[in-house]
Amino acid sequence: MCEAKAYIVNDKGEEELLLEAVSSVKKEGNKIFLKNIFAEEKEIEGEIKEISLTKNKIILKRKG
């Protein structure tokens, strides 16, 4: 399987783990919806900073 880990950049510029085993990422307007293989879901208002397919890593940044 090729699930990714999603991280959010905090105010100090550090990456904090947001969700593991992410299988779906959907962006609608300013919101990003993440879902993993365990049916857990996260929703944040922000932007995608980086997606690394080789590292299975998604980095998000909150708006504001």
3-state secondary structure at position 43: strand
Reported as a pLDDT band with limits 50, 70 and 90, residue 1 is low
Chain segment 21-64, per-residue pLDDT in tens? 999 999 999 999 999 999 999 999 999 999 999 999 999 999 86
d(CA 61, CA 63): 7
Strands 57-62 and 41-52: antiparallel
Residue 26, phi then psi, degrees to nearest 5: -135, 135
d(CA 29, CA 21): 24
